[in-house]
């Protein structure tokens, strides 16, 4: 059979318009993630503070929404109010004590990296033998390695490690998306 290869077989089930959109958007988003990753590697302390502040604002927002919900629906329940105030207190603690927030972010980041590694390995396995599956697997190896290092190094140098690891993870996510977009772009549909 002329022109037969595994990539053709795997991609034959995909709609050409979907591949074209994926290629275009993955190249754009991959480039942005690559740039954010490089910035995080260059300024890891700044990225750590941004991640901590982001977590603090998320918790404050969740606390505010929980207060609103408790007021509207179950204002007599002490438990509803306790949950809302715990979210508000935790968010304020993270915002006003960034180091505590960064330490919490480090633990959450380690968990995220382990889940990201698993997702990348699963996606690489489902994509095999299509071009680009190796990049997805390599991204999983990097995430797994970063998760292990973060777990065993915590809390030493956490301020630098969180930003550095986020930067490295974003860099590899960007490279992976760019490579996947280029592979989809090469496929004639």
pLDDT tens track for 49-78: 998 899 899 999 999 999 999 888 877 888
Q: Is residue 4 part of a domain?
A: no
d(CA 150, CA 165): 8
If you compute the radius of gyration of the chain from its CA atoms, what whole number of angstroms results?
21
Distances, alpha carbon 27 to alpha carbons 33, 78, 91, 179, in Å:
10, 50, 35, 8
Q: Which residue has the higher pLDDT, 165 or 112?
A: 112
pTM to 2 decimal places: 0.65
Q: Is residue 26 part of a domain?
A: yes
162: its two tokens: 């969180």
Q: Is residue 5 part of a domain?
A: no
pLDDT(8) > 60? no
d(CA 182, CA 26): 9
Q: Is 127 helix (H, G, I), strand (E, B) or coil?
A: helix
d(CA 142, CA 134): 12
% of the chain residues with pLDDT over 90: 37
Q: Contact, 162 vs 51, CB < 8 A?
A: yes
117-121, 124-128, 182-186: which has the highest mean pLDDT? Answer: 117-121
Share the mean pLDDT of the chain: 84
pLDDT(161) > 50? yes
pLDDT(158) > 70? yes
Structure confidence by residue, pLDDT tens digits, 124-145: 898 888 877 888 899 899 989 9
Q: Is residue 21 part of a domain?
A: yes
Distances, alpha carbon 22 to alpha carbons 19, 112, 133, 170, in Å:
5, 24, 15, 19
Token match 């990097």: residue? 142
Q: Is residue 58 part of a domain?
A: yes
Q: Is residue 9 part of a domain?
A: no
pLDDT at residue 5, rounded to an integer: 47
* Structural domains in the chain (count): 1
Q: Is residue 8 part of a domain?
A: no
pLDDT(7) > 70? no
Mean pLDDT of 4-14: 49
Q: Write out the residue range of the structural domain in which residue 134 sits.
A: 15-186
Q: Which residue has the higher pLDDT, 166 or 74?
A: 166
pLDDT(187) > 80? no
Distances, alpha carbon 161 to alpha carbons 100, 110, 157, 175, 176, in Å:
14, 11, 6, 21, 22
Q: Is residue 2 part of a domain?
A: no
pLDDT at residue 10, rounded to an integer: 47
pLDDT at residue 141, rounded to an integer: 95
């Amino acid at each position: 059979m002329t022109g037969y290869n595994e990539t053709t077989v795997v991609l034959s089930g995909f709609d050409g318009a979907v591949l074209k959109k994926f290629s275009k958007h993955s190249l754009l988003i991959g480039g942005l993630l690559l740039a954010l990753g490089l910035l995080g590697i260059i300024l890891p302390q700044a990225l750590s503070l941004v991640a901590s502040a982001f977590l603090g604002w998320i918790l404050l927002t969740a606390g505010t929404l929980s207060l609103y919900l408790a007021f509207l629906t179950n204002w007599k329940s002490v438990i509803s109010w306790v949950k809302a105030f715990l979210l508000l207190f935790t968010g304020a603690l993270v915002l006003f004590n960034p180091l505590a927030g960064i330490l919490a972010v480090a633990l959450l980041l380690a968990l995220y990296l382990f889940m990201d590694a698993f997702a990348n390995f699963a996606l690489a396995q489902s994509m095999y033998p299509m071009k680009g599956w190796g990049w997805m697997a390599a991204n999983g190896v990097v995430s797994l390695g970063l998760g292990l290092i973060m777990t065993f190094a915590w809390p030493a140098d956490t301020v630098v490690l969180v930003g550095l690891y986020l930067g490295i993870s974003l860099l590899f996510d960007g490279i992976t998306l760019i490579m996947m977009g280029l592979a989809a772009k090469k496929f004639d549909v």
